[in-house]
């Protein structure tokens, strides 16, 4: 079941985030933030959890790209699934919920940066209408190695 993310999910959400961080191909972050920092950075109306029998299986959340009004219809997102829940369509369900909520709110672009080595994430996003914009080469140093980031976006076909 996909439900809005709340503080009640915080411990499990941050544990899933940390698991993704620990795997090394999800983000430049090295540690999940405390809940207040995470909560403040994510748009409340565009964050969801996949829940089964009280357990959070994954989450998706969007953040503003900029405070400038011209970017009011552009968000950046992250999606994470617990290692034990992968391959069950959880990420597809979460991204679909995000697409639905952003389009209902008049948001025309969802974007993200993904490490090129994260083939599963790139494949998932392309299946749901995201396209590769390009690659930022050696954009950041991660655990002592320079990493590329593939930029992706999904432009809403419903919002012109």
Given a contact cutoff of 8 angstroms between Cβ atoms, the answer to whether 40 and 48 are in contact is no
End-to-end CA distance of the chain: 31
Q: What is the pLDDT of residue 160?
A: 67
Please report the DSSP string for 99-146 in residue order. Answer: HHHHHHTT--EEEEEE-TT-HHHHHHHHHTT-EEEEEEEEEEEETTEE
Q: What is the mean pLDDT of each run of 10 residues along the chain (160 residues)?
A: 98 98 94 97 97 97 95 96 96 98 96 96 97 96 96 90
| CATH code at 2-155 | 3.40.630.30
- Dist. CA 58–CA 2, nearest whole Å: 9
Given a contact cutoff of 8 angstroms between Cβ atoms, the answer to whether 107 and 84 are in contact is no
Single pTM value for the model: 0.95
CA separation (Å) from 94 to 1, 31, 64, 73, 118?
10, 23, 18, 20, 18
- Residues 1-34 have pLDDT tens digits of 999 999 999 999 999 999 999 999 999 999 999 9
Query: Token pair 């980031």 is at which residue?
Result: 149
Instruction: List the domain boundaries for the chain.
Output: 2-155
Residues 6+ apart with CB under 8 A from 40: none
- Pairing of the two strands 131-142 and 109-114: unpaired
């Amino acid at each position: 079941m996909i439900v809005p993310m709340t503080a009640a999910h915080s411990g499990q959400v941050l544990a899933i985030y940390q698991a993704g961080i620990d795997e090394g191909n999800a983000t430049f972050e090295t540690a999940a933030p405390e809940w207040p920092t995470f909560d403040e950075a994510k748009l409340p109306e565009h964050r969801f959890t996949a829940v089964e029998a009280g357990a959070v299986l994954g989450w998706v959340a969007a953040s503003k790209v900029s405070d400038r009004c011209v970017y009011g219809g552009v968000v950046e997102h992250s999606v994470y699934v617990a290692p034990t829940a992968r391959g069950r369509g959880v990420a597809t369900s979460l991204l679909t919920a995000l697409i639905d909520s952003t389009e209902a709110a008049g948001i025309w672009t969802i974007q993200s940066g993904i490490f090129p080595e994260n083939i599963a994430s790139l494949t998932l996003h392309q299946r749901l209408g995201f396209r590769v914009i390009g690659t930022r080469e050696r954009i950041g140093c991660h655990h002592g190695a320079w990493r590329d980031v593939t930029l992706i976006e999904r432009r809403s076909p419903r919002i012109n």
